[in-house]
Structure 1
């Protein structure tokens, strides 16, 4: 591709394009496309644009929940997924393989999903540790607005299928194309497989702007980054991402509709040590079998 013909050192080029790709997509998605799409939707719904609605975050969340989540999802497709595809094409005419968009053995896919089960108590425990870290009030406010939108979506009458598609399927596909598809490939070329996995996993945690969930998100990002590298396919990482988010949506929906449970209390609950230990054993076992099995499967 055109970028590969550059005279810049290959290691430097790969590292810089990986960072620039993530940064540009983040800005395009968060600060340009999503707000524009939201404004257009509100204008179409109201037959004109009301600045009052845009000035009040509470009114936006209460009156335009559907428009907010649709704007977010459309923004991810146009701002994250499509730029990842275009950027890969600038590096290689074989952009499908470059992004690891290839089939994967069913055994590896099943193993990856078993790991999601083990990750649940581990990430919950990491969230407990995360809560002990000092966080600036501004960071908490940003995160609170995100959580409020998700809560409004879950409590709305938009339907379970809509919620799973918007909160699990769309981010699971779009974010993986950008992080494990494009950015990780660049970081691996710059710093090797281990460096690529660490960078892609760590930046995935930072990208979400959720300080109280930084450690769990990094753990999830590292797991998916390893899967993409070891299997040579993006599909296991996508499946894990969708399954993890989908499980959270289903669990939150169940809690919201059950008077016996309180969502906030459950989120603050401590995870028993034996559940955390079992989670680590499951994830460790999955990684061991995956590391051993994947090369043989690819050679079959």
Structure 2
């Protein structure tokens, strides 16, 4: 176990303030300093020629300004690395159930995005001010999506491997150690678990700057937060985060279809069918949560019985 020397009660800063402080510092360093480095070495525009350099610089920025910053602040404030970052071996059965939950929440999110697109189109026809607002939002969203498409576009196996590393693996560790590690652990010391989970999920969604996918990102972030709380292993959300990005990158690599990356995609299905799909996925997702909770309660009871047997 990695032990830090100082304890929380020796510091005047509250855990909640510490959580927000680290987010602000990480955000500033990653967006401003990391952005400046990207601008300096790769330029202001994403092209097929500089996409590899941008991926490399982004990965370096995430490691330095998200992962390392989280560990350094944990070193300054807390005394137990393992407790802050919940370093424990994941249970494979919990991992399997959690993965099923991930598939269900992704499916529900896709149905939601289709419904959201239809709703926005309807609102745009009802009010000129809303139409102007959504037009501006669409333009911003298109710029973001076009840049992202250029970054993950690959022409060969080497490009694909570098994309998996920079888009799937590095963010999975860096973002999870920041959000589910330092930030959530800080919030849990002063908040009820449910509020720590929700707040961490909200901050995770906002951090990604994707207006149309904000609610799905919040839901995904809250799910990852719930998983690290209930399983006490950060490696489960790390693995699922990696899988989520890896699936996207891999499907895009083989299909080369920009539609799978768009949050304003349309589908030739009625709203009734989309709603039915959405609520079906939500129902199955809740069922998955219930099963996971039951599994963990049984595991805890068995562990207590084993501990009591050793004591007697």
* Structure-2-length-normalised TM-score: 0.80
Write the distance in 2 (CA, Å) between the matches of 1:141 and 1:230: 40
Write the distance in 2 (CA, Å) between the matches of 1:263 and 1:218: 18
1:25-64 superposed matches below 5 A: 25-36=26-37, 39-40=40-41, 42=42, 54=43, 57=45, 60-64=46-50
Q: Which residue of 2 aligns with 1:45?
A: none
Per-residue CA shift, 1:137-179, capped at 9, x if unaligned? Answer: 6655554343223211333325322222211111111100000
Write the distance in 2 (CA, Å) between the matches of 1:68 and 1:163: 11
**Aligned-residue offset at 1:67:** 0.8
1:180-259 superposed matches below 5 A: 180-256=180-256
Write the distance in 2 (CA, Å) between the matches of 1:265 and 1:25: 26
**Aligned-residue offset at 1:257:** 6.6
Count of equivalent residues: 279
Q: Which residue of 2 aligns with 1:106?
A: 92
Deviating more after overlay: 134-143 vs 277-286:
134-143
1:77-88 superposed matches below 5 A: 77-88=63-74
Write the distance in 1 (CA, Å) between the matches of 2:181 and 2:210: 22
Per-residue CA shift, 1:95-138, capped at 9, x if unaligned? Answer: 12221021121111111111111112211123235444665666
Structure 1: state its 5+ residue gaps: 43-53
**Aligned-residue offset at 1:216:** 0.6
Q: Is the 8 A contact 2:145 2:262 kept in 1?
A: no
Q: Identify if the C-alpha distance between structure 1 residues 128 and 4 changes in structure 2 by more than 3 Å, giving closer, same or farther.
A: farther
Q: Which residue of 2 aligns with 1:49?
A: none
Structure 2: state its 5+ residue gaps: 1-5, 121-129, 304-312
Cα RMSD (Å) of the superposition? Answer: 2.7
**Aligned-residue offset at 1:61:** 2.4
Q: Is the 8 A contact 2:111 2:278 kept in 1?
A: yes
Q: Identify if the C-alpha distance between structure 1 residues 232 and 251 changes in structure 2 by more than 3 Å, giving closer, same or farther.
A: same
1:125-144 superposed matches below 5 A: 125-131=111-117, 132=119, 140-144=138-142
Q: Identify if the C-alpha distance between structure 1 residues 4 and 153 changes in structure 2 by more than 3 Å, giving closer, same or farther.
A: same
Q: Is the 8 A contact 1:180 1:225 kept in 2?
A: yes
Q: Which residue of 1 aligns with 2:124?
A: none
